[in-house]
Amino acid sequence: MDIVIKRFVFLLFILAVGGVWLFVGNIEAEEQKTGSENAEYWHKKLKEKGDTESLVQLGWVYYRGDGVLSDKVKSYSYFIRAARKGNVEAQKKISNMYYLGEGVGKDEKKSLYWAEKSALLGDADAQYNLGLMYDDGTGTEKSAALAAKWYEKASKQGHVLAQNTLAWKYSKGIGVKEDSVKAAFWYAKSAENGDPFGQYNLGRVFLKGDGVEQDEQQAFYWWEKSALQGFVLAESRLGFCYVKGVGVVPDLYQAVYWWSKASEGGSAIAKRNLELLCQQNAKLCVPPPIVP
């Protein structure tokens, strides 16, 4: 597929870490209270204040086993109390726990319910995740239109994953009317926010002139930004650019360097291109290529 969808990589991440879902925005909270701020500390705070922060922190304490035995059932009991009181972080975590069946029976409809609760409160991560659920039919019938609606809400808040996915939808007319100008707009937003996927895709937009004026130098510019973040497809593209002179002065040593990087990252195409280039110009590959 020409355009790389951030959602696809997000789902690969789920598989890689054993099914973590709706994790965005929770990592920082997990690290906030450690050491002496343990179960006893938060139980005392809860008794004194009865606030949702104490409930959430107790949820994390028992979820992680921070100074206590890990207990997902007890963790769920604290998160659900906070979620019912309108705490967005707890609502996202409860959606996660229902999706995975952690501390509670697996229930995709309830996962969707709590994802929507937090999305309606304006949380961009929840809005993006709700878009995923409508795209995948998690707890509901698939709806490309509703998915696009929630991606757009998250995109307007600067959510780069949503911006890249929404751009792809506009480029293909999935759930929205096909619009290459809007696709280019959202790819640009994602790219400008530092997302390597958005940068790679914006480079393709400039190469083809889809929704923007064709500009090979801009294509190279965004591919280079993406490649410098380690995105393998962009690294492979830079190799091509340096061989063909696309947006840059040809430089076969640079081509060897970037195809070597992409090959190390698992690109079979870059590996074949590198082998052919080295066969045709053996001196290019010894000594090692110049690092930019």
**Would you list the domain boundaries of the chain?**
215-292
- Cα–Cα distance between 130 and 138 in angstroms, integer? 9
192/186 Cα distance (integer angstroms): 10
Q: Is the peptide bond before 292 cis (omega within 30 degrees of 0)?
A: no
Task: Give the lowest-confidence range in 24-33, 41-50, 222-231.
Answer: 24-33
160-172 pLDDT, tens digit each: 999 999 999 999 9
pLDDT confidence bin for 33, thresholds 50/70/90: very low
* Percent of residues in the chain assigned helix, strand, coil, to nearest 5: 70, 0, 30
Nearest to 146 by CA among 155, 133, 156: 133
- Band (pLDDT 50/70/90 cuts) for residue 24 is very low
Q: Provide mean pLDDT across the span 221-242.
A: 97
Q: Is the pLDDT of residue 65 over 80?
A: yes
- Is the pLDDT at 35 greater than 80? The verdict is no
Do the beta carbons of residue 274 and residue 259 sit within 8 Å?
yes
pLDDT of the residue at 290 = 58
Q: What is the structure's pLDDT at 169?
A: 97
Q: Exposure of 109 by Cβ count < 10 A (0-12 exposed, 13-18 middle, 19+ buried)?
A: exposed
Kindly report, residue by residue over 170-203, the tens digit of the pLDDT: 999 999 999 999 999 999 999 999 999 999 999 9
Residue 284 pLDDT exceeds 90: no
Rg (CA), the chain: 23
Which helix H or strand E contains 220, and what residues bound it? helix 216-227
CA distance 191 to 197: 7
Average pLDDT over residues 150-160: 97
pLDDT at 91 over 90: yes
pLDDT mean across residues, the chain: 87
Residue 1 has pLDDT above 50, yes or no: no
pTM summary value? 0.79
Report which secondary-structure segment, H or E, holds 269.
Answer: helix 268-280
In 3D space, the residue among 150, 85, 163, 84 whose CA is nearest the CA of residue 123 turns out to be 150
Structure tokens given for 132: 């995923």
Q: What is the pLDDT of residue 16?
A: 29
Alpha helices in 17-107 (DSSP H): 27-32, 39-49, 52-64, 72-84, 88-100
Q: Which of 55, 48, 114 is nearest to 79 (CA)?
A: 55
Please, what is the Cα angle at 258 between 254 and 260, to 5 degrees?
115
Whether residue 285 has pLDDT greater than 90: no
Q: What pLDDT, on the 0 to 100 scale, is given for residue 42?
A: 79
Q: What angle do CA 191, 193, 195 make, to 5 degrees?
A: 55
Please, which contacts does 53-56 make with residues 24 or more away whose CB atoms are closer than 8 Å?
53/87, 55/79, 55/81, 55/82, 55/85, 55/87, 55/90, 56/29, 56/82, 56/87, 56/89, 56/90, 56/93
Cβ(175)–Cβ(148) below 8 Å:
yes
The HSE-up count of residue 56 (CA atoms within 13 Å, CB side) is 23
